[in-house]
Amino acid sequence: MPTISRKGKSMPQSPIRKLVPFAEKAAKEGKSIYYLNIGQPDIKTPKIAMQAVKDSDIDVLSYSRSEGSETYRKKIANYYAKNDINVTHEDIIVTTGGSEALLFTFGSIMDVDDEVIIPEPFYANYNGFSTASGVKVVPVISKIEDNFALPPIEEFEKLITPKTKAILICNPGNPTGYLYSKEEIQKLASIVKKHDLFLIADEVYREFAYDGEVHYSIMQEPDLDKHAIIIDSVSKRYSMCGARIGCLVSRNSDVIQTALKFAQARLSPPTLAQIASEAALDTPQSYFDDVIEEYVERRNTLISELDKVEGVKVANPKGAFYCIAELPVKNSDHFAQWLLESFDVNGETIMVAPAAGFYSTHGVGLNQIRIAYVLNKESLVKAVNIIKEALKVYKD
């Protein structure tokens, strides 16, 4: 009988999506579900992006260039210039989502059994991308007690081996919502230069910085041209998750030329989605001002309500739209499934993402969940009340 590959067997399930069958069953049973498990914003996509697709006069929906259309890449470069990141369109490869940008990056700079150091908890699919690429994730644990700040740089240095090729961060962070300071970025810049490593920054949540904080990109750091690689996407910035358009950005021409070979192998990114994404770059600042104001209010509502629940500990996010909450349970996977299968308040329940899947260290994060505050404030209040009532009766 034909067998499945070892790689296929070792590919991790998504902690964000693996509970979907239980949610579907609960919905069929008539329960209403508040979906806190996935970062799908309910904010409307900018009209300018949707209109560009409607107005496109295309007779043949053809391939674009493998690196993405030149007009779009030039507009991306202009966008970065406004954010004090100086690149040209030749430093950019358009990808099918930030996910493909990460896969191209791993393939371009790491061989099988090479190592990448990542502060955890981290975006769960980093585990999947590393497995698919045959790369080993070496975690350095950040703690909820420290609001998931960058671990001491000495902890990174202890983990560097001849196999280490890169350090990867998400800034602001998914799943923690932590926003790295300029000083923290500078510490990372110093260590990658010292040990001749790459520094990869997943910056898809760049616009979502709160409380007067300002996002500081790794590509604003001087003397980091050969080391810095940005992963980016339109998914969250413009509430365009379904467009599947991202990009890889680096001033290291060897990285770009190598990644281009991977891009050529998959032919091209989606043409219509590039048209929408190019138009989205003309979205006025007022859109982001309104979105950020809404997310700050949602965050404040969520944190305030969680703080009222006995036994719950929560980190206060400074960016993105996620937070990690620690619950008085032994296993949040079981708790999350139980919420869908066996619990409701007036016919309503919730779907959360168990946080253990956002770690690669075995046994860590078992009592934590990730909450995406992508629902309106009234729904968030109801959702936290469901957690409160559930904890009163739940048995491990």
Summarised one tens digit per residue, pLDDT across range 187-227 is: 999 999 999 999 999 999 999 999 999 999 999 999 999 99
Report yes or no: 234 and 245 within 8 Å, Cβ to Cβ.
yes
**248 domain-assigned:** yes
- The torsion angle over the Cα atoms of residues 167, 247, 356 and 113, rounded to 10 degrees, is -50
Give residue-wise pLDDT tens across range 99-145: 999 999 999 999 999 999 999 999 999 999 999 999 999 999 999 99
Region 21-40: mean pLDDT is: 93
Supply angle C-alpha 316, 317, 321, rounded to 5.
135
Which CATH number does the domain housing residue 100 bear?
3.40.640.10
302-320 pLDDT, tens digit per residue, is 999 999 999 999 999 999 9
259 and 350 fall within a common domain: no
Beta strands in the chain (DSSP E): 32-35, 92-95, 115-120, 136-141, 164-170, 198-202, 228-233, 246-249, 313-314, 322-326, 348-351, 353-354, 368-372
pLDDT value for 42? 84
The pTM for the full model equals 0.95
Residues 236 and 90 in one domain: yes
Which of 245, 280, 315 is the endpoint of a domain? 280
**How far apart are alpha carbons 163 and 309 in whole angstroms?**
45
Longest Cα–Cα distance of the chain, Å, equals: 61
Q: Are 55 and 21 in the same domain?
A: no
In the predicted structure, residue 15 carries a pLDDT above the cut 80: no
238 shares a domain with 385: no
| Residues 342-374: tens digit of each pLDDT | 999 999 999 999 999 999 999 999 999 999 999
Looking at residue 350, which CATH number applies to its domain? Answer: 3.90.1150.10
Residues 226 and 326 both lie in one domain: no
Last residue of one domain, picked from the residues 217, 245, 280: 280
Q: Looking at this protein, which amino acid is placed at residue 364?
A: V
Are residues 64 and 163 located together in one domain of the fold? yes
Across the chain, mean pLDDT equals 96
| Helix, strand, coil tally for the chain in percent (to 5) | 45, 15, 40
Mean pLDDT of 281-286: 95
DSSP 214-228: ----GGGSTT-TTTE
Picking from 177, 186, 265, the residue whose alpha carbon sits closest to that of residue 228 is 186
pLDDT for residue 39 is more than 90: no
- Mean pLDDT to the nearest integer, 69-81: 98
73 within a domain of the structure (yes/no)? yes
Q: What are phi and psi of 75, to 5 degrees?
A: -70, -35
pLDDT reported for residue 180: 98
Same domain, 157 and 300: no
As for how many domains the chain has, the answer is 2
- pLDDT class for 295, splitting at 50, 70, 90? very high
Which class for 78: exposed (0-12), middle (13-18), buried (19 or more C-beta within 10 A)? Answer: exposed
| Confidence at 158, pLDDT banded by 50, 70, 90 | very high
User: For residue 14, with 0-12 CB atoms within 10 Å meaning exposed, 13-18 middle and 19 or more buried, which class applies?
Assistant: middle
The range of the structural domain enclosing residue 75 comes to 47-280
Q: Is residue 1 part of a domain?
A: no
